[in-house]
A = this chain, B = another copy of it.
Amino acid sequence: MATVHDHASAVSAPRAADDPRDRILLAAGQAFAEHGYEAATVRDICLEAGVNVAAVNYYFGDKRRLYIESVKHAHEARVKQVPLPEWPAGKPAAERLHDFVANMLERMLGLGQPPWQVRLMMREVLHPTDACRELVEDYIRPHFALLVSILDELCAGHLSQPELRRVALSIIGQCFLYRAAGDVVGMLVPQAEIDSLHTPGRLADHVTAYALAALGVSPALRQGGNT
């Protein structure tokens, strides 16, 4: 028996807003993000989406392909929601660095967007599957390259490419910690401090100041900087 999913994704016909396929992708993304691939069940997904269990097989073939499609779907949605920042020519590199870090933290921690999309992508980063390489090439690598270029300009050629990459990873690692290990961070830091200081904006200030101080662009932290 021929199913529609063979060509439906190819021709990409305009689908209605409440397309069953989209409802399944939405429910699947949330379920996979929350429980992981194994623990999420297609029955729960279909119940949440309001479709029959046979629909996932009809539209996607099997669970594995549904998972890959939901990862790509969430990934594309995030790219649209929070695009790479762009600056007018002549904007100082230090300000672009701050904007970039704020952008990354907003995308990771931002409260305005559904959190399950980032959670789903985090799962791929932490335990890569087939969907990961595409995620890196389309999404992570351009961000990484942009960060390296900002740092390169900031240092005016004083650092080699490997050094720049390590500094870039240092910056990403700090943002990464708050997203991936946020629960543990919450156990180590007083709640009041979390509420007041661990916001995307405040954290961007800290990470940027930390980097600028390390690179010698601005005074060291202990000699009096931002709060």
Contacts and interface: CB of A to CB of B under 8 A. Distances in A.
Interface residues of A, number: 61
Contacts of A36: 36, 38, 127
A203 to B, nearest CB: 8
Given A36-B36, A126-B180, A128-B183, A214 B206 contact: no
Nearest to A203: B166
Q: Give how many copies assemble into the complex.
A: 2
What is the interface of chain A mostly: helix, strand, loop, or mixed? helix
A165 interface: yes
A221 interface: yes
Interface in A53-74: none
A159 interface: yes
A138 to B, nearest CB: 12
A43 interface: no
Nearest to A209: B214
Nearest to A189: B165
A12 interface: no
A154 to B, nearest CB: 8
Contacts of A26: none
A128 B167 CA distance: 29
Nearest to A165: B189
Contacts of A35: 38
A188 interface: yes
A173 B207 CA distance: 11
Contacts of A221: 155, 159, 163, 167, 214-216
Interface of A: 35-39, 122, 125-128, 132-133, 136, 140-141, 144, 155-156, 158-159, 162-163, 165-167, 169-170, 172-178, 180-181, 183-185, 187-189, 193, 197, 203, 206-207, 210-211, 213-217, 219-224, 227
- Which 8 residue pairs across A and B have the least CB separation, nearest first? A216-B220, A173-B177, A158-B222, A214-B214, A173-B174, A38-B39, A213-B214, A38-B38
